[in-house]
Chains A and B, each alone.
Chain A
Amino acid sequence: MLKIDQIYKTFNPGTITEKVALQGVSLDLKEGDFVTVIGGNGAGKSTMLNAVAGVFPVDQGHIMIGGADVTRLPEHKRAKYLGRVFQDPMTGTAATMNIEENMALAFRRGKPRGLRWGITASERDQYREHLKSLGLGLEDRMASKVGLLSGGQRQALTLLMATLQAPKLLLLDEHTAALDPKTAAKVLEITQKIVDEQHLTAMMVTHNMKDAIAIGNRLIMMNEGKIVVDVSGEEKSKLTRRDLMGLFEKAAGKELDGDRLLLS
Protein backbone atom coordinates (compact mmCIF):
# COMPACT_ATOMS: atom_id res chain seq x y z
CA MET A 1 0.00 0.00 0.00
CA LEU A 2 2.89 2.32 0.83
CA LYS A 3 6.29 1.90 -0.72
CA ILE A 4 9.08 4.22 0.36
CA ASP A 5 12.19 3.68 -1.73
CA GLN A 6 15.52 5.08 -0.53
CA ILE A 7 14.41 8.59 0.43
CA TYR A 8 16.87 11.23 1.56
CA LYS A 9 16.19 14.64 3.05
CA THR A 10 18.51 17.34 4.31
CA PHE A 11 17.05 20.59 5.66
CA ASN A 12 18.87 23.88 5.04
CA PRO A 13 21.72 22.26 3.10
CA GLY A 14 24.98 24.21 3.06
CA THR A 15 24.09 26.42 6.03
CA ILE A 16 25.00 26.30 9.69
CA THR A 17 21.53 24.97 10.48
CA GLU A 18 21.98 22.06 8.07
CA LYS A 19 20.16 19.00 9.35
CA VAL A 20 20.38 15.59 7.74
CA ALA A 21 16.94 14.21 8.55
CA LEU A 22 16.51 11.12 6.38
CA GLN A 23 19.34 8.96 5.07
CA GLY A 24 18.01 6.35 2.71
CA VAL A 25 14.77 5.28 4.33
CA SER A 26 12.96 2.39 2.65
CA LEU A 27 9.72 0.86 3.85
CA ASP A 28 7.08 -1.39 2.32
CA LEU A 29 3.65 -1.53 3.94
CA LYS A 30 1.10 -4.14 2.93
CA GLU A 31 -2.59 -3.43 2.86
CA GLY A 32 -3.97 -3.58 6.40
CA ASP A 33 -0.59 -3.14 8.07
CA PHE A 34 -0.58 -1.01 11.19
CA VAL A 35 2.98 0.04 11.84
CA THR A 36 4.16 1.97 14.88
CA VAL A 37 7.24 4.17 14.51
CA ILE A 38 9.44 4.85 17.49
CA GLY A 39 12.77 6.56 18.08
CA GLY A 40 14.47 9.36 19.99
CA ASN A 41 14.12 13.06 19.35
CA GLY A 42 15.40 14.00 15.91
CA ALA A 43 15.51 10.39 14.72
CA GLY A 44 13.46 11.29 11.62
CA LYS A 45 10.07 9.81 12.54
CA SER A 46 7.98 12.86 11.86
CA THR A 47 10.15 13.82 8.90
CA MET A 48 9.39 10.45 7.30
CA LEU A 49 5.67 10.95 7.89
CA ASN A 50 5.77 14.48 6.50
CA ALA A 51 7.74 13.28 3.49
CA VAL A 52 4.95 10.80 2.76
CA ALA A 53 2.35 13.54 3.25
CA GLY A 54 4.21 15.85 0.87
CA VAL A 55 4.83 18.68 3.32
CA PHE A 56 8.21 19.12 1.57
CA PRO A 57 9.81 17.45 -1.44
CA VAL A 58 12.43 14.76 -0.77
CA ASP A 59 15.98 15.15 -2.14
CA GLN A 60 16.15 11.62 -3.53
CA GLY A 61 14.09 8.47 -3.73
CA HIS A 62 10.48 7.60 -4.48
CA ILE A 63 7.23 7.35 -2.61
CA MET A 64 4.35 5.22 -3.92
CA ILE A 65 0.91 5.07 -2.33
CA GLY A 66 -1.44 2.32 -3.52
CA GLY A 67 0.63 1.86 -6.67
CA ALA A 68 0.67 5.56 -7.61
CA ASP A 69 3.96 7.45 -7.63
CA VAL A 70 3.31 10.53 -5.51
CA THR A 71 6.92 11.69 -5.17
CA ARG A 72 6.30 14.86 -7.13
CA LEU A 73 2.73 15.58 -6.08
CA PRO A 74 2.16 18.66 -3.89
CA GLU A 75 0.67 18.19 -0.44
CA HIS A 76 -2.91 19.05 -1.37
CA LYS A 77 -2.92 16.56 -4.25
CA ARG A 78 -1.61 13.72 -2.10
CA ALA A 79 -4.39 14.40 0.37
CA LYS A 80 -6.79 12.22 -1.59
CA TYR A 81 -4.79 9.14 -0.54
CA LEU A 82 -4.12 10.17 3.03
CA GLY A 83 -5.85 10.69 6.34
CA ARG A 84 -3.75 12.71 8.74
CA VAL A 85 -3.82 13.44 12.47
CA PHE A 86 -1.23 15.77 13.95
CA GLN A 87 0.49 16.12 17.30
CA ASP A 88 -0.98 19.54 18.01
CA PRO A 89 -4.76 19.24 18.43
CA MET A 90 -5.07 22.74 16.90
CA THR A 91 -3.59 21.63 13.59
CA GLY A 92 -6.14 19.09 12.38
CA THR A 93 -9.26 21.21 12.44
CA ALA A 94 -10.39 24.72 11.57
CA ALA A 95 -11.12 26.34 14.95
CA THR A 96 -13.34 29.12 13.63
CA MET A 97 -15.62 26.75 11.72
CA ASN A 98 -18.16 24.49 13.35
CA ILE A 99 -18.02 20.72 13.73
CA GLU A 100 -20.22 19.87 10.78
CA GLU A 101 -18.43 22.32 8.49
CA ASN A 102 -15.11 20.73 9.40
CA MET A 103 -16.53 17.31 8.62
CA ALA A 104 -17.98 18.51 5.33
CA LEU A 105 -14.53 19.78 4.35
CA ALA A 106 -13.03 16.39 5.18
CA PHE A 107 -15.83 14.55 3.38
CA ARG A 108 -14.77 16.30 0.15
CA ARG A 109 -11.10 15.39 0.47
CA GLY A 110 -9.77 14.41 -2.93
CA LYS A 111 -12.85 15.61 -4.78
CA PRO A 112 -13.23 18.75 -6.86
CA ARG A 113 -14.87 21.59 -4.94
CA GLY A 114 -17.38 23.52 -6.97
CA LEU A 115 -20.32 25.80 -6.47
CA ARG A 116 -22.63 23.24 -4.94
CA TRP A 117 -23.70 23.94 -1.38
CA GLY A 118 -20.94 23.04 1.08
CA ILE A 119 -23.01 20.63 3.18
CA THR A 120 -26.20 18.64 2.52
CA ALA A 121 -28.93 17.44 4.87
CA SER A 122 -28.17 13.76 4.28
CA GLU A 123 -24.50 14.34 5.06
CA ARG A 124 -25.52 15.95 8.31
CA ASP A 125 -27.38 12.80 9.40
CA GLN A 126 -24.40 10.71 8.43
CA TYR A 127 -22.05 12.93 10.45
CA ARG A 128 -24.34 12.71 13.47
CA GLU A 129 -24.11 8.91 13.39
CA HIS A 130 -20.33 9.02 13.09
CA LEU A 131 -20.04 11.45 15.99
CA LYS A 132 -22.32 9.30 18.11
CA SER A 133 -19.91 6.39 17.66
CA LEU A 134 -17.19 8.42 19.38
CA GLY A 135 -19.25 8.49 22.56
CA LEU A 136 -18.19 12.06 23.41
CA GLY A 137 -21.56 13.74 23.00
CA LEU A 138 -20.34 15.75 20.02
CA GLU A 139 -23.42 14.75 18.00
CA ASP A 140 -25.41 17.32 19.98
CA ARG A 141 -22.89 20.09 19.33
CA MET A 142 -22.57 19.94 15.55
CA ALA A 143 -23.12 23.68 15.16
CA SER A 144 -20.47 24.53 17.79
CA LYS A 145 -17.19 26.06 16.73
CA VAL A 146 -14.38 23.51 16.94
CA GLY A 147 -12.31 26.08 18.85
CA LEU A 148 -14.57 25.42 21.84
CA LEU A 149 -13.66 21.73 22.02
CA SER A 150 -10.99 20.27 24.28
CA GLY A 151 -7.76 18.85 22.88
CA GLY A 152 -8.98 15.28 23.20
CA GLN A 153 -12.28 16.06 21.52
CA ARG A 154 -10.46 17.78 18.70
CA GLN A 155 -8.14 14.82 18.17
CA ALA A 156 -11.09 12.43 18.12
CA LEU A 157 -12.84 14.66 15.61
CA THR A 158 -9.69 14.91 13.48
CA LEU A 159 -9.48 11.11 13.46
CA LEU A 160 -13.05 10.89 12.32
CA MET A 161 -12.42 13.47 9.62
CA ALA A 162 -9.28 11.67 8.45
CA THR A 163 -11.25 8.47 7.93
CA LEU A 164 -14.57 9.88 6.67
CA GLN A 165 -13.33 9.06 3.19
CA ALA A 166 -11.43 5.81 3.76
CA PRO A 167 -7.78 6.80 3.16
CA LYS A 168 -5.28 4.48 1.49
CA LEU A 169 -3.00 5.32 4.38
CA LEU A 170 -3.68 6.85 7.78
CA LEU A 171 -0.80 8.94 9.14
CA LEU A 172 -0.78 9.54 12.89
CA ASP A 173 1.98 11.87 14.02
CA GLU A 174 2.22 11.49 17.82
CA HIS A 175 -1.44 12.28 17.91
CA THR A 176 -1.83 11.51 21.62
CA ALA A 177 1.38 13.16 22.83
CA ALA A 178 -0.27 16.47 23.74
CA LEU A 179 -3.08 14.86 25.73
CA ASP A 180 -3.33 13.86 29.38
CA PRO A 181 -2.90 10.08 29.98
CA LYS A 182 -6.60 9.31 30.35
CA THR A 183 -7.60 11.25 27.24
CA ALA A 184 -4.65 9.79 25.34
CA ALA A 185 -5.85 6.28 26.16
CA LYS A 186 -9.36 7.13 24.98
CA VAL A 187 -8.12 8.61 21.69
CA LEU A 188 -5.89 5.58 21.17
CA GLU A 189 -8.86 3.29 21.77
CA ILE A 190 -10.89 5.21 19.17
CA THR A 191 -7.94 4.99 16.77
CA GLN A 192 -7.73 1.23 17.16
CA LYS A 193 -11.48 0.87 16.68
CA ILE A 194 -11.62 2.94 13.50
CA VAL A 195 -8.57 1.23 11.99
CA ASP A 196 -10.05 -2.21 12.74
CA GLU A 197 -13.53 -1.40 11.45
CA GLN A 198 -12.32 0.09 8.19
CA HIS A 199 -9.34 -2.29 7.77
CA LEU A 200 -7.08 0.69 7.24
CA THR A 201 -3.37 0.74 6.56
CA ALA A 202 -1.85 3.00 9.18
CA MET A 203 1.42 4.44 10.37
CA MET A 204 1.64 5.83 13.89
CA VAL A 205 4.59 7.79 15.25
CA THR A 206 4.80 7.62 19.02
CA HIS A 207 7.13 8.39 21.90
CA ASN A 208 5.43 5.83 24.06
CA MET A 209 7.19 2.43 23.95
CA LYS A 210 4.29 0.66 25.60
CA ASP A 211 1.85 1.91 22.95
CA ALA A 212 4.32 1.12 20.18
CA ILE A 213 4.53 -2.46 21.37
CA ALA A 214 0.85 -2.95 22.19
CA ILE A 215 -0.60 -1.53 18.99
CA GLY A 216 -0.33 -2.68 15.41
CA ASN A 217 1.26 -5.66 13.69
CA ARG A 218 4.61 -4.10 12.96
CA LEU A 219 7.09 -1.85 14.73
CA ILE A 220 9.97 0.13 13.31
CA MET A 221 12.54 2.08 15.23
CA MET A 222 14.47 4.96 13.74
CA ASN A 223 17.82 6.47 14.58
CA GLU A 224 19.70 9.27 12.83
CA GLY A 225 17.45 9.22 9.80
CA LYS A 226 17.51 5.49 9.26
CA ILE A 227 15.27 2.57 10.14
CA VAL A 228 17.36 0.48 12.53
CA VAL A 229 14.82 -2.00 13.89
CA ASP A 230 11.92 -3.60 12.03
CA VAL A 231 9.88 -6.33 13.71
CA SER A 232 6.50 -7.70 12.73
CA GLY A 233 4.05 -10.55 13.17
CA GLU A 234 4.68 -13.02 15.94
CA GLU A 235 8.03 -11.53 16.84
CA LYS A 236 6.34 -8.20 17.49
CA SER A 237 3.52 -9.68 19.55
CA LYS A 238 6.04 -11.23 21.92
CA LEU A 239 8.16 -8.11 22.15
CA THR A 240 8.96 -6.54 25.54
CA ARG A 241 10.44 -3.17 26.31
CA ARG A 242 13.69 -4.81 27.36
CA ASP A 243 13.89 -6.69 24.03
CA LEU A 244 13.30 -3.48 22.16
CA MET A 245 16.10 -1.65 23.96
CA GLY A 246 18.41 -4.58 23.30
CA LEU A 247 17.52 -4.56 19.61
CA PHE A 248 18.17 -0.87 19.41
CA GLU A 249 21.57 -1.07 21.09
CA LYS A 250 22.63 -3.87 18.78
CA ALA A 251 21.49 -2.03 15.66
CA ALA A 252 22.59 1.48 16.52
CA GLY A 253 25.74 0.51 18.42
CA LYS A 254 24.84 2.73 21.36
CA GLU A 255 22.46 2.94 24.24
CA LEU A 256 19.02 4.29 23.67
CA ASP A 257 19.18 7.94 24.64
CA GLY A 258 17.53 8.57 27.95
CA ASP A 259 14.90 11.07 26.91
CA ARG A 260 11.20 10.75 27.47
CA LEU A 261 11.17 7.54 25.42
CA LEU A 262 12.42 5.51 28.39
CA LEU A 263 10.23 7.14 30.93
CA SER A 264 6.97 6.37 29.21
Chain B
Amino acid sequence: MELIKLVNALPGAVAQGLIWGLMAIGVYITFRILDVADLTVDGSLATGGAVAAMLITSGYSVWVALLAAFVVGLLAGLLTGCFHTLMGIPAILAGILTQLGLYSINLRIMGGKANTAISANKFYLLVSLRNVRSWAIQNPIFVLILFTAVVVLLLYWFFGTELGSSLRATGANQKMARAQGINTNHNILLGLMLSNGLVALSGALLAQYQGFADVNMGRGAIVIGLAAVIIGEVVFGKLFRNFAMKLVAVTIGAIVYYLVIQVVLWLGLDANDLKLLTALVVGIFLGVPYWKNQILSRTKGSKGGPRNAEN
Protein backbone atom coordinates (compact mmCIF):
# COMPACT_ATOMS: atom_id res chain seq x y z
CA MET B 1 0.00 0.00 0.00
CA GLU B 2 2.53 2.59 -1.06
CA LEU B 3 1.01 6.00 -1.44
CA ILE B 4 3.08 6.69 -4.54
CA LYS B 5 1.26 3.90 -6.36
CA LEU B 6 -2.04 5.58 -5.69
CA VAL B 7 -0.74 9.00 -6.74
CA ASN B 8 0.59 7.51 -9.95
CA ALA B 9 -2.79 6.01 -10.72
CA LEU B 10 -4.73 9.22 -10.24
CA PRO B 11 -4.11 10.93 -13.63
CA GLY B 12 -5.33 7.77 -15.36
CA ALA B 13 -8.45 7.79 -13.21
CA VAL B 14 -9.15 11.39 -14.15
CA ALA B 15 -8.74 10.69 -17.88
CA GLN B 16 -10.97 7.63 -17.68
CA GLY B 17 -13.48 9.63 -15.69
CA LEU B 18 -13.56 12.30 -18.38
CA ILE B 19 -14.16 9.73 -21.13
CA TRP B 20 -16.89 8.01 -19.13
CA GLY B 21 -18.21 11.45 -18.24
CA LEU B 22 -19.20 11.96 -21.88
CA MET B 23 -20.92 8.61 -21.77
CA ALA B 24 -22.66 9.63 -18.54
CA ILE B 25 -23.89 12.85 -20.17
CA GLY B 26 -25.54 10.59 -22.73
CA VAL B 27 -27.16 8.64 -19.89
CA TYR B 28 -28.23 11.92 -18.29
CA ILE B 29 -30.13 12.85 -21.48
CA THR B 30 -32.22 9.69 -21.39
CA PHE B 31 -32.43 9.01 -17.66
CA ARG B 32 -32.94 12.53 -16.37
CA ILE B 33 -34.22 14.63 -19.27
CA LEU B 34 -36.28 12.07 -21.18
CA ASP B 35 -37.13 10.02 -18.08
CA VAL B 36 -36.39 6.63 -19.66
CA ALA B 37 -33.74 4.12 -18.61
CA ASP B 38 -32.02 3.22 -21.88
CA LEU B 39 -29.90 0.08 -21.79
CA THR B 40 -28.80 0.44 -25.41
CA VAL B 41 -25.67 2.15 -24.12
CA ASP B 42 -23.99 -1.11 -23.09
CA GLY B 43 -23.97 -2.02 -26.77
CA SER B 44 -23.51 1.36 -28.40
CA LEU B 45 -20.39 2.16 -26.36
CA ALA B 46 -18.66 -0.87 -27.84
CA THR B 47 -20.06 -0.06 -31.28
CA GLY B 48 -18.45 3.37 -31.09
CA GLY B 49 -15.17 1.79 -30.05
CA ALA B 50 -15.33 -0.86 -32.77
CA VAL B 51 -16.14 1.61 -35.54
CA ALA B 52 -13.37 3.96 -34.47
CA ALA B 53 -10.82 1.15 -34.14
CA MET B 54 -11.59 -0.29 -37.57
CA LEU B 55 -11.49 3.10 -39.28
CA ILE B 56 -8.27 4.21 -37.60
CA THR B 57 -6.51 0.92 -38.37
CA SER B 58 -7.69 1.28 -41.97
CA GLY B 59 -5.90 4.60 -42.17
CA TYR B 60 -8.71 7.08 -41.68
CA SER B 61 -8.12 10.13 -39.55
CA VAL B 62 -9.15 10.22 -35.92
CA TRP B 63 -11.77 12.84 -36.68
CA VAL B 64 -13.44 10.73 -39.35
CA ALA B 65 -13.44 7.85 -36.88
CA LEU B 66 -15.07 9.96 -34.15
CA LEU B 67 -17.69 11.32 -36.51
CA ALA B 68 -18.49 7.85 -37.82
CA ALA B 69 -18.79 6.49 -34.28
CA PHE B 70 -21.19 9.31 -33.42
CA VAL B 71 -23.34 8.62 -36.47
CA VAL B 72 -23.47 4.88 -35.79
CA GLY B 73 -24.45 5.70 -32.20
CA LEU B 74 -27.31 7.84 -33.53
CA LEU B 75 -28.50 4.85 -35.55
CA ALA B 76 -28.37 2.56 -32.51
CA GLY B 77 -30.53 5.06 -30.62
CA LEU B 78 -32.87 5.29 -33.58
CA LEU B 79 -33.33 1.52 -33.53
CA THR B 80 -34.21 1.50 -29.82
CA GLY B 81 -36.50 4.46 -30.39
CA CYS B 82 -38.33 2.64 -33.18
CA PHE B 83 -38.77 -0.46 -31.01
CA HIS B 84 -40.21 1.80 -28.35
CA THR B 85 -42.38 4.27 -30.26
CA LEU B 86 -43.43 2.30 -33.36
CA MET B 87 -43.79 -1.11 -31.77
CA GLY B 88 -44.88 -0.10 -28.28
CA ILE B 89 -42.13 -2.06 -26.55
CA PRO B 90 -41.30 -0.66 -23.09
CA ALA B 91 -38.19 1.52 -23.30
CA ILE B 92 -36.12 -0.64 -21.02
CA LEU B 93 -36.83 -3.79 -23.06
CA ALA B 94 -36.33 -1.94 -26.35
CA GLY B 95 -32.86 -0.97 -25.13
CA ILE B 96 -32.06 -4.54 -24.12
CA LEU B 97 -33.06 -5.80 -27.59
CA THR B 98 -30.81 -3.31 -29.34
CA GLN B 99 -27.99 -3.97 -26.92
CA LEU B 100 -28.15 -7.71 -27.57
CA GLY B 101 -28.34 -7.24 -31.32
CA LEU B 102 -25.42 -4.85 -31.23
CA TYR B 103 -23.19 -7.54 -29.75
CA SER B 104 -23.34 -9.45 -33.03
CA ILE B 105 -23.02 -6.27 -35.05
CA ASN B 106 -19.97 -5.21 -33.05
CA LEU B 107 -18.31 -8.56 -33.77
CA ARG B 108 -19.09 -8.10 -37.47
CA ILE B 109 -17.65 -4.60 -37.44
CA MET B 110 -14.41 -5.96 -36.03
CA GLY B 111 -14.28 -8.70 -38.65
CA GLY B 112 -15.39 -11.47 -36.30
CA LYS B 113 -12.74 -10.80 -33.66
CA ALA B 114 -13.56 -9.95 -30.08
CA ASN B 115 -11.05 -7.13 -30.01
CA THR B 116 -8.98 -4.88 -32.24
CA ALA B 117 -5.76 -3.20 -31.19
CA ILE B 118 -4.98 0.39 -32.16
CA SER B 119 -1.37 1.09 -31.35
CA ALA B 120 -0.39 4.66 -30.58
CA ASN B 121 2.95 3.84 -32.23
CA LYS B 122 1.40 3.24 -35.61
CA PHE B 123 -1.52 5.67 -35.67
CA TYR B 124 -2.19 9.23 -34.63
CA LEU B 125 -4.66 9.07 -31.74
CA LEU B 126 -6.48 11.95 -30.09
CA VAL B 127 -6.07 10.48 -26.63
CA SER B 128 -3.72 7.81 -25.38
CA LEU B 129 -3.02 6.21 -22.04
CA ARG B 130 0.72 6.63 -22.36
CA ASN B 131 0.61 10.45 -22.36
CA VAL B 132 -1.50 10.63 -19.26
CA ARG B 133 1.35 11.63 -16.94
CA SER B 134 3.14 13.96 -19.35
CA TRP B 135 3.07 17.73 -19.13
CA ALA B 136 2.28 18.18 -22.78
CA ILE B 137 -0.60 19.29 -24.93
CA GLN B 138 -1.09 15.64 -25.93
CA ASN B 139 -2.00 14.75 -22.39
CA PRO B 140 -5.44 13.16 -22.72
CA ILE B 141 -6.68 15.05 -19.67
CA PHE B 142 -6.26 18.42 -21.40
CA VAL B 143 -7.68 17.13 -24.66
CA LEU B 144 -10.67 15.57 -22.92
CA ILE B 145 -11.44 18.65 -20.83
CA LEU B 146 -11.56 20.67 -24.04
CA PHE B 147 -13.65 18.03 -25.76
CA THR B 148 -16.10 17.85 -22.85
CA ALA B 149 -16.38 21.64 -22.71
CA VAL B 150 -17.36 21.76 -26.39
CA VAL B 151 -19.95 18.99 -25.93
CA VAL B 152 -21.43 20.67 -22.84
CA LEU B 153 -21.70 24.03 -24.62
CA LEU B 154 -23.36 22.44 -27.66
CA LEU B 155 -25.86 20.61 -25.47
CA TYR B 156 -26.52 23.74 -23.44
CA TRP B 157 -27.34 25.53 -26.66
CA PHE B 158 -29.46 22.70 -28.03
CA PHE B 159 -31.57 22.22 -24.93
CA GLY B 160 -32.23 25.95 -24.84
CA THR B 161 -33.67 26.00 -28.36
CA GLU B 162 -37.33 25.55 -29.18
CA LEU B 163 -36.68 21.95 -30.21
CA GLY B 164 -34.55 21.21 -27.15
CA SER B 165 -37.17 22.77 -24.86
CA SER B 166 -39.83 20.58 -26.42
CA LEU B 167 -37.62 17.57 -25.76
CA ARG B 168 -37.35 18.55 -22.10
CA ALA B 169 -41.12 19.00 -21.96
CA THR B 170 -41.57 15.52 -23.44
CA GLY B 171 -39.54 14.06 -20.60
CA ALA B 172 -41.29 16.16 -17.97
CA ASN B 173 -44.90 15.54 -18.98
CA GLN B 174 -45.90 13.80 -22.20
CA LYS B 175 -49.58 14.66 -21.91
CA MET B 176 -48.80 18.33 -21.51
CA ALA B 177 -46.29 18.19 -24.34
CA ARG B 178 -48.82 16.72 -26.76
CA ALA B 179 -51.41 19.28 -25.69
CA GLN B 180 -48.88 21.93 -26.72
CA GLY B 181 -48.54 20.35 -30.15
CA ILE B 182 -45.27 18.54 -29.50
CA ASN B 183 -44.70 15.26 -31.31
CA THR B 184 -43.55 13.29 -28.28
CA ASN B 185 -42.62 10.18 -30.27
CA HIS B 186 -40.25 12.16 -32.49
CA ASN B 187 -38.68 13.74 -29.46
CA ILE B 188 -38.14 10.39 -27.76
CA LEU B 189 -36.42 9.17 -30.93
CA LEU B 190 -34.30 12.30 -31.03
CA GLY B 191 -33.32 12.03 -27.37
CA LEU B 192 -32.36 8.36 -27.67
CA MET B 193 -30.32 9.11 -30.79
CA LEU B 194 -28.48 12.01 -29.25
CA SER B 195 -27.76 10.01 -26.12
CA ASN B 196 -26.38 6.99 -27.96
CA GLY B 197 -24.43 9.22 -30.33
CA LEU B 198 -22.58 10.63 -27.32
CA VAL B 199 -22.13 7.19 -25.80
CA ALA B 200 -20.61 5.85 -29.04
CA LEU B 201 -18.36 8.92 -29.20
CA SER B 202 -17.22 8.12 -25.70
CA GLY B 203 -16.58 4.53 -26.81
CA ALA B 204 -14.46 5.79 -29.70
CA LEU B 205 -12.35 7.85 -27.30
CA LEU B 206 -12.09 4.98 -24.83
CA ALA B 207 -10.82 2.60 -27.53
CA GLN B 208 -8.09 5.10 -28.45
CA TYR B 209 -7.22 5.78 -24.85
CA GLN B 210 -6.79 2.13 -23.88
CA GLY B 211 -5.32 1.16 -27.24
CA PHE B 212 -7.96 -1.35 -28.27
CA ALA B 213 -11.63 -1.86 -28.88
CA ASP B 214 -13.29 -4.82 -27.23
CA VAL B 215 -16.69 -6.33 -27.80
CA ASN B 216 -17.23 -6.39 -24.03
CA MET B 217 -16.05 -2.87 -23.30
CA GLY B 218 -19.60 -1.64 -22.71
CA ARG B 219 -20.65 -4.25 -20.21
CA GLY B 220 -22.27 -2.48 -17.28
CA ALA B 221 -21.82 0.93 -18.91
CA ILE B 222 -25.34 1.99 -17.96
CA VAL B 223 -24.54 1.43 -14.29
CA ILE B 224 -21.33 3.45 -14.47
CA GLY B 225 -23.27 6.19 -16.27
CA LEU B 226 -25.95 6.18 -13.60
CA ALA B 227 -23.29 6.21 -10.89
CA ALA B 228 -21.77 9.33 -12.44
CA VAL B 229 -25.16 11.04 -12.77
CA ILE B 230 -26.06 10.25 -9.17
CA ILE B 231 -22.68 11.18 -7.68
CA GLY B 232 -22.86 14.45 -9.62
CA GLU B 233 -26.30 15.18 -8.25
CA VAL B 234 -25.51 14.23 -4.69
CA VAL B 235 -22.33 16.31 -4.58
CA PHE B 236 -23.38 19.31 -6.67
CA GLY B 237 -27.19 19.14 -6.73
CA LYS B 238 -27.61 22.09 -4.39
CA LEU B 239 -24.75 24.07 -5.91
CA PHE B 240 -25.37 23.83 -9.65
CA ARG B 241 -28.74 25.04 -10.94
CA ASN B 242 -27.68 25.96 -14.45
CA PHE B 243 -28.15 23.26 -17.08
CA ALA B 244 -24.57 23.41 -18.37
CA MET B 245 -23.27 23.14 -14.82
CA LYS B 246 -25.46 20.10 -14.23
CA LEU B 247 -23.72 18.42 -17.16
CA VAL B 248 -20.37 19.44 -15.70
CA ALA B 249 -21.50 17.87 -12.43
CA VAL B 250 -22.15 14.60 -14.28
CA THR B 251 -18.62 14.69 -15.71
CA ILE B 252 -17.15 15.38 -12.29
CA GLY B 253 -19.32 12.55 -10.97
CA ALA B 254 -17.64 10.18 -13.42
CA ILE B 255 -14.20 11.42 -12.38
CA VAL B 256 -15.07 10.96 -8.70
CA TYR B 257 -16.29 7.45 -9.50
CA TYR B 258 -12.96 6.48 -11.08
CA LEU B 259 -10.95 8.13 -8.31
CA VAL B 260 -12.91 6.16 -5.72
CA ILE B 261 -12.33 2.97 -7.73
CA GLN B 262 -8.59 3.65 -7.73
CA VAL B 263 -8.65 4.18 -3.98
CA VAL B 264 -10.55 0.97 -3.22
CA LEU B 265 -8.26 -0.98 -5.56
CA TRP B 266 -5.29 0.55 -3.79
CA LEU B 267 -6.83 -0.46 -0.48
CA GLY B 268 -6.73 -4.03 -1.76
CA LEU B 269 -10.11 -4.76 -3.33
CA ASP B 270 -10.01 -7.53 -5.91
CA ALA B 271 -10.61 -5.95 -9.34
CA ASN B 272 -13.01 -8.78 -10.13
CA ASP B 273 -15.34 -7.55 -7.37
CA LEU B 274 -15.56 -4.02 -8.76
CA LYS B 275 -18.77 -4.49 -10.71
CA LEU B 276 -20.50 -5.96 -7.67
CA LEU B 277 -19.42 -2.99 -5.59
CA THR B 278 -20.60 -0.54 -8.26
CA ALA B 279 -23.98 -2.25 -8.58
CA LEU B 280 -24.50 -2.14 -4.81
CA VAL B 281 -23.48 1.50 -4.46
CA VAL B 282 -25.66 2.64 -7.39
CA GLY B 283 -28.56 0.56 -6.08
CA ILE B 284 -28.35 2.24 -2.69
CA PHE B 285 -28.15 5.73 -4.18
CA LEU B 286 -31.13 5.08 -6.47
CA GLY B 287 -33.07 3.95 -3.39
CA VAL B 288 -32.30 7.04 -1.32
CA PRO B 289 -34.96 9.35 -2.88
CA TYR B 290 -37.58 6.63 -2.36
CA TRP B 291 -36.67 6.17 1.29
CA LYS B 292 -36.61 9.91 1.78
CA ASN B 293 -40.18 10.15 0.44
CA GLN B 294 -41.34 7.30 2.63
CA ILE B 295 -39.98 8.96 5.73
CA LEU B 296 -41.34 12.38 4.73
CA SER B 297 -44.84 11.07 4.04
CA ARG B 298 -44.84 9.23 7.36
CA THR B 299 -44.00 12.35 9.30
CA LYS B 300 -46.37 14.60 7.35
CA GLY B 301 -49.41 12.32 7.32
CA SER B 302 -50.29 9.64 4.82
CA LYS B 303 -51.50 11.89 1.98
CA GLY B 304 -49.36 14.95 2.42
CA GLY B 305 -46.18 14.62 0.42
CA PRO B 306 -44.28 17.88 0.04
CA ARG B 307 -46.22 18.61 -3.16
CA ASN B 308 -49.74 18.12 -1.86
CA ALA B 309 -49.04 20.11 1.24
CA GLU B 310 -49.16 23.37 -0.71
CA ASN B 311 -52.58 22.90 -2.26
Contacts and interface: CB of A to CB of B under 8 A. Distances in A.
A82 B179 CA distance: 8
Contacts of B168: 94, 96-97, 101
A36 to B, nearest CB: 21
Contacts of A90: 173
A133 to B, nearest CB: 21
Contact of A53 (B162, B165, B172, B179): B179
Interface stretch (A12-20, A103-111, A218-226): A103-111
B216 interface: no
B181 A117 contact: no
Interface centre among B158, B165, B181, B311 (most CB of A within 10 A): B181
Contacts of A114: 161-163
B174 to A, nearest CB: 10
Nearest to B167: A113
A115 interface: yes
Given A75-B178, A106-B180, A109-B180, A115 B161 contact: yes
Interface string B152-177: 00000010111111101100110111
B160 A108 contact: no
A86 interface: yes
A96 B164 CA distance: 14
Contacts of A148: 310
B178 A76 contact: yes
A84 interface: yes
Interface residues of A, number: 42
Given A147-B307, A151-B311, A152-B311, A108 B172 contact: no
B179 A79 contact: yes
A44 interface: no
A247 to B, nearest CB: 33
Contacts of B307: 147
Contacts of A96: 168, 172
B161 A117 contact: yes
A115 B163 contact: yes
B162 A150 contact: no
A75 B182 CA distance: 9
A258 B179 CA distance: 33
A186 to B, nearest CB: 13
Interface of B: 158, 160-166, 168-169, 172-173, 175-184, 307, 310-311
